[in-house]
Amino acid sequence: MQLKEHRSLVTGGASGLGLAIVERFVAEGARVTVLDRNAERLEMLKGRLGDRVEVVAGDVRSLADNRRAVAAAVASFGGLDSFVGNAGIWDFNMSLLDLPDDRVDAAFDEVFGVNVKGYMLGAKAAALELVRSGGSIVFTLSNAAFYPAGGGPLYTAAKHAAHGLVRELAYELAPRVRVNAVAPGIIPTDLRGARALDQGEQSVASIFPPAGASLASPLGVVPHTEDYTGPYVLLVSKADASTITGAVINADGGLGIRGLRSANGGAHLLELVTNGNEVASI
């Protein structure tokens, strides 16, 4: 077992990719604390995995909740070797012009609050324990941390910001704590949208039918959540990743090598300013 007696804290670990990470870590010998806002799913997870996991219901946007999760990890398992910031929400590719004027502020705060602030607060809460253990931090990014059209401006900007957070924290916490990330590509997971945009009950899995998703990937397959867990095991392993920090494993299935498919994403915009047969100046 590659992570025998490793002690990890995973956010958003009660469903989707986070759950797959938790299950893989436990299978590799780790003991895992899970911070998630869904108390019911946490109890199901605890009932299934038993004393190999500890669960904490809370909001990653709260420093107090992140500190409670770290305290639970230390109390249950005697310390902390890794923090995996994974909790996230999507924007379902909502474009700038489609963002409702009366919701854009709340949507921005929500997407950045979960996807960026949540990572920073989790890292802040875990940092001293990771300094003690010589541990590591791993964030879940996305192909949207590198390329456009993996989300709308809210999600894409948030993932780019989280990419910057990886590099800054890798610098600030060196040499005691390594900080890296994994950037998954297409993934039919239970990733939800922003409640401020009435997307809270929508799941990414519902819009990625296998046939359509496989055409978008050069590898021609739709990965399952568990297919993405290997890089996380690698990055938290002291034995195998002792020289890796400030890095992102781009596990996007080759999306970056697809080549040119279209010249632009705004070919429809003139329709928005067309009045009869005349086109307004823009």
**For residue range 233-257, what is the model confidence (pLDDT) as tens digits?**
999 999 999 999 999 999 998 888 8
Nearest-angstrom CA–CA distance, 20 and 33: 14
Nearest-angstrom CA–CA distance, 29 and 221: 29
Q: pLDDT value at position 163?
A: 98
User: If phi over 0 gives left and psi between -120 and 50 gives alpha, with beta otherwise, what is residue 87?
Assistant: beta
Which residues, 6 or more positions from 214, have their beta carbon under 8 angstroms from its beta carbon? 220, 221, 222
Active site residue 171: no
Nearest-angstrom CA–CA distance, 165 and 116: 8
All domains in the chain, ordered by first residue: 7-279 (3.40.50.720)
Q: pLDDT value at position 248?
A: 98
Q: Which residues of the chain have pLDDT under 70?
A: 208-215, 259-263, 275-282
Q: pLDDT value at position 212?
A: 58
Give the other-Cβ count within 10 Å of 146's Cβ: 18
Q: pLDDT value at position 205?
A: 74
pTM of the predicted protein model: 0.91
Nearest-angstrom CA–CA distance, 175 and 178: 7
Nearest-angstrom CA–CA distance, 194 and 89: 6
Which candidate in 155, 171, 228, 232 is catalytic?
155
Nearest-angstrom CA–CA distance, 250 and 146: 9
Q: pLDDT value at position 222?
A: 80
- Three-state DSSP class for 94? coil
The structure tokens 């059209």 sit at 149
